[in-house]
């Protein structure tokens, strides 16, 4: 079974809804989710936020919760040459620190929390 299919099955079995406040904290945490290393929260940007990837403001107006979840889990499914790390997959990774070998960067709950927060960025 492909790793992404296994992730979808696990996600479907995961019943606790995401928490937007926890998701906000995760997005802001540069040691855990790393979102703001590449993304800014809005188009105006911020010196402490990234400009490598699209800004996150109004992301929920562009993508459904499932679309957000799928892209964060493993953007390679949409853009194979992406530099965005696969936060819920370990398939095909190389040069991984021993402490992270075989471990996904985010738990299912953390992913749900981030998606819940990004869902608040609809305007």
Give the CATH number of the domain where residue 50 resides.
Answer: 1.10.760.10
Mean per-residue pLDDT over the chain, rounded: 87
User: Domain span at residue 70?
Assistant: 3-118
Domain assignment of residue 77, yes or no: yes
Domain assignment of residue 15, yes or no: yes
Handedness of CA 23, 28, 34, 38 (dihedral sign): positive
Tell me the longest C-alpha to C-alpha distance in the chain. Answer: 43
Structure confidence at residue 94 as a pLDDT band (50, 70, 90): confident
Task: Flag whether the pTM goes above 0.85.
Answer: no
Domain assignment of residue 9, yes or no: yes
Domain assignment of residue 123, yes or no: no
Handedness of CA 104, 96, 90, 59 (dihedral sign): positive
Domain assignment of residue 7, yes or no: yes
Number of domains comprising the chain: 1
pLDDT value, residue 95: 87
Q: How far is CA 59 from CA 9, 55, 106, 122, in A?
A: 25, 8, 20, 6
- pLDDT tens string 44-69: 888 889 999 999 998 999 999 999 99
């Amino acid at each position: 079974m492909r790793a992404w299919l296994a992730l979808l099955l696990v996600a479907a079995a995961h019943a606790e809804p995401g928490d937007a406040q926890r998701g906000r904290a995760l997005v802001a945490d540069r040691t855990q989710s790393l979102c703001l290393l590449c993304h800014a929260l809005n188009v105006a940007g911020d010196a402490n936020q990234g400009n490598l990837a699209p800004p996150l403001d109004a992301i929920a107006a562009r993508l459904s919760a499932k679309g957000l979840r799928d892209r964060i889990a493993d953007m390679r499914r949409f853009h194979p040459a992406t530099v965005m790390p696969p936060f819920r997959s370990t398939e095909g990774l190389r040069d991984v620190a021993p402490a992270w070998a075989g471990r996904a960067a985010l738990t299912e709950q953390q992913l749900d929390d981030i998606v819940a927060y990004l869902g608040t960025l609809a305007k």
